[in-house]
Amino acid sequence: MTDLDRFAGHGVLVTGAARGIGAAVARRIAQEGGRVLVTDQDAPEAERTAAALRQQGLSAEALGCDVGERASVEAAVAHTVSAFGSLDVLVNCAAHCTPDPPLFEDDPDDAWARDLDITLTGAYRCCRAALPHLAACGRGAVVSVGSVNGLQDFGNHAYSAAKAGLGSLTRTLAGHAAARGVRVNLVVPGTVRTSAWEGRDDDLDAVRPLYPLGRVGEPEDIAAAVAFLASRDAAWITGTTLVVDGGLTAVNTGFRTALGHP
């Protein structure tokens, strides 16, 4: 539990917040005084997450939201403004990842389109709907959650392309929105222990030695970075990509090990 109060009076919309990183972000910002709308395509799970926050005395509501549908996104933005009086922070966590087939040429069009539509275009839809309100509040911030997949090859062609696209969208939107008083940044996680890895402890153990800091990430690690960039502590930061990956992309651990370096 943090003792900060950086989001007192802020209305905050978090997509993909029913579980995992999104849920951790919603919890962290609510703990810091934010009034959070927990949105997810899985509306019942979003409500369970919001209810758990309310049981802790925190301010949270839930709403089903499909970022693949413009009307659903606009309804979530309108609900945030209506419920909390303003929309000060948008956090784009919603994503979709389809496993690759063994051969690239067997990747179907619909799988490619789905990953890009939810992961990249979904964030675009949310930013488009939210931007006028973020500008009106005078302290607006957008933080999107990317992936190291958008920086290096870790498989998943469509998902990786979408996450790389978030980096470009972050920079171009930051340039556009700066004059309107809105900051736009991106957090790039490495491997994070979420439900996507459920039942795959052996895989997590296998990749752990690749991380210079000696462990995979936890959702709270990413939530802390998101909260920083969304807060006024980052008031002079926009258009940046903050990599939160335990050193994975900065240090070639395999190469160092092959040469016998500690």
| pLDDT at position 260 over 60 | yes
Q: Report yes or no: 146 and 161 within 8 Å, Cβ to Cβ.
A: no
| pLDDT at position 54 over 80 | yes
Q: Read off the pLDDT of residues 182-192 as tens digits, 9 standing for 90 and up.
A: 999 999 999 99
Q: What is the mean pLDDT of residues 33-60?
A: 98
Closest CA to 192 of 179, 211, 166, 171: 211
Taking the CB of residue 258, how many other CB atoms lie within 10 A of it?
9
CA distance 226 to 237: 12
What is the radius of gyration, based on Cα positions, of the chain? 18
Lookup: tokens for 200: 């795959």
What pLDDT does 256 receive? 87
What pLDDT does 257 receive? 87
Q: What is the mean pLDDT of the chain?
A: 96
What pLDDT does 3 receive? 63
Lookup: tokens for 157: 């062609």
Confidence of residue 2 (pLDDT cuts 50, 70, 90): low
What pLDDT does 255 receive? 85
| pLDDT at position 52 over 80 | yes
Q: What is the mean pLDDT of residues 63-69?
A: 98
CA distance 153 to 160: 8
E strand or H helix at 72, and its extent? Answer: helix 70-84
- Which architecture characterizes domain 11-198+219-249 according to CATH? 3-Layer(aba) Sandwich (3.40)
Confidence of residue 262 (pLDDT cuts 50, 70, 90): confident
What pLDDT does 246 receive? 97
What pLDDT does 4 receive? 79
Place of tokens 């929309």: 87
Closest CA to 183 of 94, 249, 90, 96: 90
Lookup: tokens for 206: 């296998």
Q: Read off the pLDDT of residues 226-238 as tens digits, 9 standing for 90 and up.
A: 999 999 999 999 9
Phi, psi of 36 (to 5 degrees): -110, 130
Q: Read off the pLDDT of residues 94-142 as tens digits, 9 standing for 90 and up.
A: 999 999 999 999 999 999 999 999 999 999 999 999 999 999 999 999 9
State pTM to two decimals: 0.96
Q: Which residues are catalytic?
A: 159
CA distance 232 to 237: 9
Q: Read off the pLDDT of residues 153-189 as tens digits, 9 standing for 90 and up.
A: 999 999 999 999 999 999 999 999 999 999 999 999 9
Confidence of residue 193 (pLDDT cuts 50, 70, 90): very high
Closest CA to 186 of 246, 226, 216: 226
Place of tokens 């556009």: 176
Taking the CB of residue 250, how many other CB atoms lie within 10 A of it?
10
